[in-house]
A and B are shown apart, each in its own frame.
Chain A
Amino acid sequence: MWPKVWHFLSFGAPGVLIYVCFVLAPIVISFWYSLTNYNPFNPPISYVGWENYFLLFQDKEFLTALKVTSILTVIVVVVPNALGLGVALLLDRPGWLYNALRSVFFTPVILSSVVVSIIWSRLLDNEGPLNTFLRFLGVENPPGWLSDPDVALYSLASIVCWQMLGFCVVVYLAGLQGVPQELLEAAQIDGAGPVRRFRAVTWPLLAPSLTINTVVLLISAFKTYDYVKVITNGGPGAGATATIAFNVLATGFDANHVGYASAMAIVMLLIVAVVTAVVLKLLQRREVDL
C-alpha cells in the first residue's frame, strides 16, 4: 500500500505543488488584493469590497486600454491566421527551397520580442529605412508609423503579426501534412477544382490547426506587454497603445496601487478565460474525425 502511495506522490505531487504555488496561489492572492486598497508604500491594507471593480468601469484609462487590447487582439488573431494559411499552402510542397523558406518564416518566432521591438522601432522611425525609402519614391510626408497616435496601434499590431506569422505557418503546414492524399484525389476524380477541393476537403480537415492558432494568438495578443513597453511606452500621448497588461504593471509598480492593479488583472483574466472558452467551443464544433 505505502509504496504505491509514495509512487503516486513522487510523480504527482511535484506537478500539483508547482501548479498550486505558481498558478493558483497567485490568482487567489491577486483576487484578495483586488478587494483591498493595498499599496505597499502606504499601509495598512483595508478591505474595500468591490469598490476597485466599480471604479474600474468608470475609469476612462482602463476603458481605453480595453478598447486598445480588443483592437490589437482582433488584428493579431485574424491577420496571422489568414496569412499563415496562405503561406502554408504555398510552402506545402517538397524541395530544398521550400524547406529553406519554412525556416525563414519561422525565424521571427524564436527571436526575443524585445529584440524584435527594438529592430522594428528603428525600421519604423520617421528617419528610418522605411520612410527613407518612401521619400525616395516621392512620398513627401510618409506616415508617422509610431508617432501618429492614429497609426501607432496598427503599426504595433503589425509587428506582433509579423512575429506570430511563422508560428501559424508551421501549425497549418503540420495540418496540411495530415490531409489524406486519397481524399483529394477522390474529389478531383469527382470533378472538384482546386478551390472546391480546398473548401470541401482541406479546410474542414484544418479545423484543429485553426483552433490551435486562434487560441494561442488570442491569449498572446490579450496579454501583450513587452512590445508596448519597448516601442511606445503606451503612447504617443495618453493611452494610444496602452494595453490592459501594460496598465496593470504601470498601476501596480509605478503608481504603487497594487489593489487596483490586481482588479485590472482579474478582469483581464476573466475576459481571456471566457473569450477563450467560447472560441474553443465554437471552433471545436467544426473539427471532424477521419
Chain B
Amino acid sequence: MKRVATLTAAVLLAVGLAGCQVKSDAGGTSGGGEEISFLTFETPNLTPDYWNAAIKRVTDKHPEIKVKKLVAPTADGRTAYAKQLLQSGQFPDVMIAVTPAGFAEAGELYAWNPDELKDFQFPTANPIKGKYFQLPANTQTIPPIYYNKKLFADAGVTGEPKTWDELLAAAEKLKAKGTTPFVIGGGKDGFASSMILAGIVSTDLYGKNKDWMTQRREDKVKFADADFQAALTKFADLANKGYIDKASVSRDYAATEQAFLDGKGAMYPMGNWFAANADTKKPAFDIGVFNFPTADGKLIVPAYTGGGMIVSANAKNLSAAKKFALAFQLDKTQLDQSVKADGLFPAIKGYTPPADTGPVFKAGYKLYEDAVKENAVVHTFRWETADDGLLPGMTDKVDQAAQDLITGRKSVADVAAFLDTEWNKAR
C-alpha cells in the first residue's frame, strides 16, 4: 500500500511539473555542449523554419553552444510571456525583440559593454539608467506613409505631401473622389489605431523637443499641456473631417493590411516592416512611400532602433548566451534574411541590404538613409522602450485614447486628462 501511495504521489508530481514546463517545439534543440534557452516568436514572416535556420547558422559556427528554442504563445504577447517565465523561475537565457524595460531595472538583464557594441551603428540607443541592455540590431521607421499610386492619380493628387497642409489637401481630394484617405485598424492590434497619432506627436513635439518623454517622466511636461493637446487636435480633426473611417477601429492588423492591399484606402501609415509584404504580395497597383509630413515640411523622420536580443544576467552559461546573441545579430545571412522577411533596416556598421530587395523596401530605405545623413531622425512616440519611453502598460492606453478620438467618444481635453490619470496610475 505504501508503494501505491508513493507511486501515486510521484505520478501526480510528475504530471504537475510537466504542466508547468515551458513550451519547447519538437526538435527545438540544436548544437552541443553549453546549453542556452532562446525565446523566439512566430509570425507569418518569421516562421519556424526561419528561426531554425538562423539558429543552425550560429551553432554551425559555434558547435560548443547548444540552443533550446522556446516559442512565445503569441507574437504580440512575447514580453508578457517573458514576465510570466521570470516569475515562474524559467526566465530564458536569450530573448529577441522583448522589451527590456522593467527587466533591466530589476537587475535581470546583462548590460552590454561598449566593446561588445562596437559593430552596431547606434550603440547608445535605448539607455536604461545609463546602461545598454538590448542589442540595437535594427531600425524601424514608424510610421512612413505608404500610398496607392493609382488612387492618388485618380484623385488628381500629384506629388507626395511634405507638409501637413499638403497632406490635408491630398486627403480632401481623395475623399471628394469617394476614396477613404487613410487606412487604419485596431481591434486586438491597438497599435494600428494610433499610428497617425504617433507620427504627429513625433514630428510636432519630438521634432522640437527630443527629450519630451524624458521630461514627462520627470513631470516637467504633461499630456494636458497645450502642445500635446494641439497634436491630439490635429489627429482628431482627421477623423472629424471624415478622412479616417471610424468603423475601422475594430479591424485587426492583418485585415487592415489586406484592406490597403485590396485598394480600400489610399494611404497606409505603418512601420517600415510593411515593405516586405508590399513587395512580395504584389497588389494590382504600385505602392509609393513618403515620410510622415511635418507642419512646415522640415525633414523629421520618427524611428525606433532596438528590437535585438537581450540576455539574462543570471544565465547559467552567460558567456555562451552572449556569444550566441552577438553571433546571431551580426550574421550577414541572418541580416539579409531579416531584411527580406521582415523589411528591417539592420543597424550594423558597414551593412548594406541585398541588391534584390523590392522597390517599396528600397524607397523606404532611401528615405531613412537620407534622414540619417541629415541627422533628422527622432524617436517614435509610443514605440520607445528605454528611459525615454512610456511607462509599462501605457501603450495600450495611448491606443485607446486614439480610438476615443477617432470615434468621437471623448474630447481632446478628456483624452489628455485620461492619459495623465493613467500615467499617474502606471508609476
Contact = CB atoms under 8 A, between A and B. Distances in A.
Contacts of A148: 247, 407
Interface string A236-258: 11111000000000110111110
Interface of A: 3, 6-7, 9-10, 13-14, 17-18, 21, 40-43, 59-61, 121-122, 124-127, 144-149, 152, 229-240, 250-251, 253-257
A176 to B, nearest CB: 39
B196 to A, nearest CB: 16
Contacts of A7: 1
A249 to B, nearest CB: 8
Interface stretch (B98-106, B154-162, B308-316, B363-371): B98-106
16 contacts: A7-B1, A10-B4, A40-B106, A121-B250, A126-B245, A144-B247, A147-B186, A149-B409, A231-B187, A235-B249, A236-B409, A237-B403, A237-B409, A253-B84, A255-B391, A257-B426
A240 B190 CA distance: 14
Given A253-B80, A256-B392, A235 B403 contact: yes
Contacts of A13: 5, 9
Contact of A250 (B186, B396, B406): B396
A124 B255 CA distance: 13
Contact of B250 (A59, A144, A238): A144
Contacts of A126: 245, 247-248, 250-251
Contacts of B373: none
Given A6-B1, A40-B106, A126-B247, A256 B407 contact: no
Contact of B407 (A10, A147, A229): A147
B418 interface: yes
A76 to B, nearest CB: 20
Contact of A235 (B80, B264, B400): B400
A147 B247 contact: yes
B106 A237 contact: no
Given A41-B106, A148-B407, A254-B393, A238 B248 contact: no
A41 B418 contact: no
A193 B205 CA distance: 75
B250 A147 contact: yes
Given A14-B9, A14-B12, A237 B410 contact: yes
Given A40-B83, A125-B251, A147 B106 contact: no
